[in-house]
Amino acid sequence: MQPPEELATTPLPPRWERLDQRTLASTRVFDLQSVRFRHPRRAVERDFVVIDAPDWVNIVARTTDNRIVLVNQFRYGSDGFSWEIPGGIIERGEDPVVAGLRELQEETGYGGGKARLLGSIRPNPAIMNNLCHFVLADGVEPLHAQAWDADEELQMALLPADDVYTLARTGGITHSLTLCALFLYEPLRHAVP
């Protein structure tokens, strides 16, 4: 496959120069920054709002009988419940695979198996500076008690991969990061765990 740059029909615009930043607000989950940039050719300066957030991890966890671990939890932003794969914030310096397995254990009690990084994306590069890493864990099983965060309460389900993809296509799963993880997992889903 040719890189998109080689197939571009217009030239790449210049990179804006980062000049300064200041914190507008700090929250438990992210900081809101005002970042000043200058366009190198036009000499225009603008302030842009950037959400400075820690990296996240989501984990596609597959049992030995080829079922996917899903959780359903109340999400304050959408004021409703959301079916998704387990995930959360990566602690500073924590390996994404280790973080994914930790989140899986905390949210579901499942663990074990073999885990590897599926890929990483930028959740919304227009306004956010973090990454979301996706982990695949094959052969997981119930090993521990759940250890929810103070504000977490989760319903758990084990679904065949085909049913998970049907949910994704029909609006039963609307969490964008879960949908991205399923996209990356798709070429591997028929492999034997």
Q: Are 67 and 159 in contact (CB under 8 A)?
A: yes
Of 89, 22, 92, the C-alpha closest to 50 is 22
Report residue 57: phi and psi, to 5°. -140, 140
This prediction has a pTM of 0.93
Whether pLDDT at 192 is above 80 = no
**Average confidence score pLDDT of the chain:** 95
Of 179, 56, 192, the residue nearest 113 (C-alpha): 192
pLDDT for 1 beyond 90: no
Alpha carbon 68 to its chain centroid, in Å, reads 17
Predicted local confidence at residue 148, as pLDDT? 84
Q: Which residues of 26-63 are buried (b: 16+ CB within 10 A; e: fewer)?
A: eeeebeebebebeeeeeeeeeeeebbebebbbbbbbbb
Q: Is the pLDDT of residue 126 over 80?
A: yes
Residue-range domains of the chain with CATH: 12-52 (no CATH), 56-188 (3.90.79.10)
First to last CA, the chain: 29
24, containing H or E segment:
strand 17-26
Q: Distance (Å, rounded) from C-alpha 160 to C-alpha 164?
A: 6
> Residue 92 — pLDDT band, cuts 50, 70, 90?
very high
